[in-house]
Structure 1
Amino acid sequence: MSQPEIVQSVLGEEDVVSRVHLGGEDELFVTPTRTLVYRAEGLLSDESVDEFSHAAERLSVSEGRRKGKILLDYGLDGSKTIGLSVKRLDEALQPIVEGVLAAAGVIEDGESVVQSFRFSELTFVVAERRVVRHIGSAVWDEDYESYNYNDVTNLEFESGSVATTVVLTVGGRQERFKIPNEEARIVREKLSKALCAHFDVGSLEEFRVMMAEQKDDEEGEERDNTDFGAGPDPLSANPGELSDEPTNATRSADDAEPTEGQTVEATSVGSSPTETTTVEQRAEKVADASDLGFESSGFEPASKPADDTAELAAEVEALREAVEAQSEHLYYQQELIEQLIEELRRGR
């Protein structure tokens, strides 16, 4: 559909991204940088085009019974007002909001707005790569909040008797805002569809599964990268491979246990006769125990496992699993504490 010649001359090389019929022959043309309002020739006025730049600091709307106004505030440069029928207000506002957000750098070049919603003091904009929220009488000003889908890990909707709460988990924290129940269905549809399209999944359930798998992978990488340092060498060594007896030892491995009739003497440097007597008494007790028939009594002395290394390795592995389980539990508790602190600060 062609534009009036006067509109084409004002547009130049700029493309029209949206066109809204305002009634009669009047039309609104939205480009990436500005909005043009075309007024056809009438009985009391000539054909004209009014231009409204999207580089506004504030965007607000007022509604009457039949007429509505879109106010663009340019700060020190003043403000401009677009007057139109209330029936055309929402249709015209949508592309203008997109242009203002793009001009302010809130959304990226080429990123489109899926739909914008106005709920009393809340403006909620669903874009292709983020959600923009503004609370106040204006539709938008510099006091806004934006949540990029790349930082979102969960999306839930909590139904109430009057309003539905949108729960957006961003960076480990929950952002909550309420919308009227009569608008909840379309908000759920638009927001869920935009989020799933961004991550290329078919539903919110698939999105949650993907987020859970990513979290498991990240926790697995953290565990793999955890370095507890070099442990004591004896834990990983075979007891038979431990260091040899000191060169000044009093006896060798072959002489560890005295036999019957043998006399054990302490030969270490500086030993006293008392120490020698004590060792001899111990040897005599061992010989006496043998004479009492301990070996034939049916009892067997406790023996060491054949493979101490395997047993120690199993114990270390069990301890490692217990530590990891405790660490995950503590991390979960820390998240709950941080969430509780944040909610207390907000008065919830």
Structure 2
Amino acid sequence: MSQPEIVQSVLGEEDVVSRVHLGGEDELFVTPTRTLVYRAEGLLSDESVDEFSHAAERLSVSEGRRKGKISLDYGLDGTKTIGLSVKRLDEALQPIIEGVLSAAGVIKDDESVVQSFRFSELTFVVAERRVVRHIGSAVWDEDYESYNYNDVTDLAFEDGSVATTVVLTVDGRQERFKIPNEEARIVREKLSKALCAHYDVGSLEEFRVMMAEQEEQEDAEDARDNTDFGEGPDPLSANPGELADEPANGTRAGEEAQQTESQTVEATSTGSAAAETQSVQTPSKKVADASDLGFEASGFEPPSETADPSAELAAEVEALREVVEAQTEQLQYQQELIEQLIEELRRGR
């Protein structure tokens, strides 16, 4: 799909990694280093492109019933906000999170985000090589935790009545956090698949078998490395001539040599350290669903069973004819302007 000329001029040689339709002709373009928001010409503004660098210290999100905001905090350089419909919020947020994490060095330049999740004050990001977790009102800031898959030795999920606990074993310790049950299935699928792909195994069961085999091999290598046999017995240094002349001394030397050869040394081995459990619990996601208007609230009254359908239909047709005749071209034009204005306001202009 072609890009508006004004967007091409701002992009230069930079590639677009994600493109999100914001409504109307407005679009959001995400590159590895920045996000561009294109606004088509409308009643409230001319055609324009706004730039948002991914080198932000903090990323936060707020949403109302219709509008949402993605805010990028640049410290002393201030904060810039992207306004958009809540229907497009999650779709636009995903590539922006990836760009911000890459710019901050949390993930590698060639590493992509599989999926990000927001559960109340818990943000959980599944990337190709690690899991990134942040607790707080912001989606991300410098107070985050990252767990590289190279350090993960086990992954389990504990079902609960309201929430599911994700148990991630990292460097011998357990990291635990809760997610709502309604999101547990997708989190389980994305995280398990990313971890198994990293280790090139087909399932979590295969992953656990591989980890057990590696642990056994490491224990065996540690046992061999810690075994010490010393320098061994001293060689006999008796003079053959002396042995012939002094048999008593020779007999004593033979006995001493026999005692020396029968000596042994003990081998020591090291045990494994016990795992320390750390429990982290986070609140469940609060879901606020807007209610649809019921049939009764529409103001429409169904026709009575005893009413004459033909008479009511004739009355409705006559009323419609009067309305149509009363409308003018000027009113139609004004109506179009009003509708366009409402649509632009909904898109967050």
Task: With the length of structure 1 as denominator, give the TM-score of the two structures.
Answer: 0.71
Contact 2:176-2:279 within 8 A present in 1 as well? no
Partner of 1:207: 207
Partner of 1:28: 28
| Offset from partner CA, 1:300-329 (integer Å, 9 cap, x none) | xxxxxxxxxxxx89xx89x86xx65xx54x
Deviation at 1:216, TM superposition (A): 1.1
Residues 1:224 and 1:65: Cα distance change in structure 2 (over 3 Å): same
Partner of 1:167: 167
| Offset from partner CA, 1:2-25 (integer Å, 9 cap, x none) | 001110011000000000000111
**Counterparts of 2:250 and 2:87 in 1: how far apart (Å)?**
106
Deviation at 1:219, TM superposition (A): 1.1
**Counterparts of 2:169 and 2:48 in 1: how far apart (Å)?**
49
Partner of 1:45: 45
State the AA in 2 paired with 1:90.
Answer: D
Report whether the alignment pairs 1:218 with 2:218.
yes
Structure of greater Rg = 1
Residues 1:181 and 1:199: Cα distance change in structure 2 (over 3 Å): same
Residues 1:122 and 1:203: Cα distance change in structure 2 (over 3 Å): same
> Any residues of structure 2 matched to 1:315-330 within 5 Å, and which?
327-328=270-271
Task: Note the residue ranges of structure 1 that are not aligned, 5 or more in a row.
Answer: 235-243, 254-311
| Offset from partner CA, 1:266-294 (integer Å, 9 cap, x none) | xxxxxxxxxxxxxxxxxxxxxxxxxxxxx
Deviation at 1:222, TM superposition (A): 1.1
Deviation at 1:44, TM superposition (A): 2.5
State the AA in 1 paired with 2:274.
Answer: E
Secondary structure at the counterpart of residue 146 of structure 1: strand
**Counterparts of 1:35 and 1:122 in 2: how far apart (Å)?**
24
Partner of 2:187: 187
**Counterparts of 2:4 and 2:162 in 1: how far apart (Å)?**
47
**Counterparts of 2:185 and 2:233 in 1: how far apart (Å)?**
64
Deviation at 1:217, TM superposition (A): 1.1
Partner of 2:144: 144
State the AA in 2 paired with 1:335.
Answer: A
Partner of 1:228: 228
State the AA in 1 paired with 2:77.
Answer: D
Partner of 2:239: none
> Any residues of structure 2 matched to 1:72-221 within 5 Å, and which?
72-221=72-221
Task: With the length of structure 2 as denominator, give the TM-score of the two structures.
Answer: 0.70
Secondary structure at the counterpart of residue 335 of structure 1: coil
Q: How many residues align?
A: 268
Task: Note the residue ranges of structure 2 that are not aligned, 5 or more in a row.
Answer: 235-242, 253-261, 281-349
Residues 1:249 and 1:34: Cα distance change in structure 2 (over 3 Å): same
State the AA in 2 paired with 1:28.
Answer: L
RMSD between superposed Cα atoms in Å = 3.0
Percent sequence identity is 79
**Counterparts of 1:67 and 1:228 in 2: how far apart (Å)?**
71
**Counterparts of 1:40 and 1:222 in 2: how far apart (Å)?**
66
**Counterparts of 2:161 and 2:138 in 1: how far apart (Å)?**
27
Deviation at 1:233, TM superposition (A): 4.1
Q: Once superposed, which parts of structure 1, at least 4 consecutive aligned residues long, lie more than 6 Å away?
A: 250-253
| Offset from partner CA, 1:103-134 (integer Å, 9 cap, x none) | 00000011100000000010000000100000
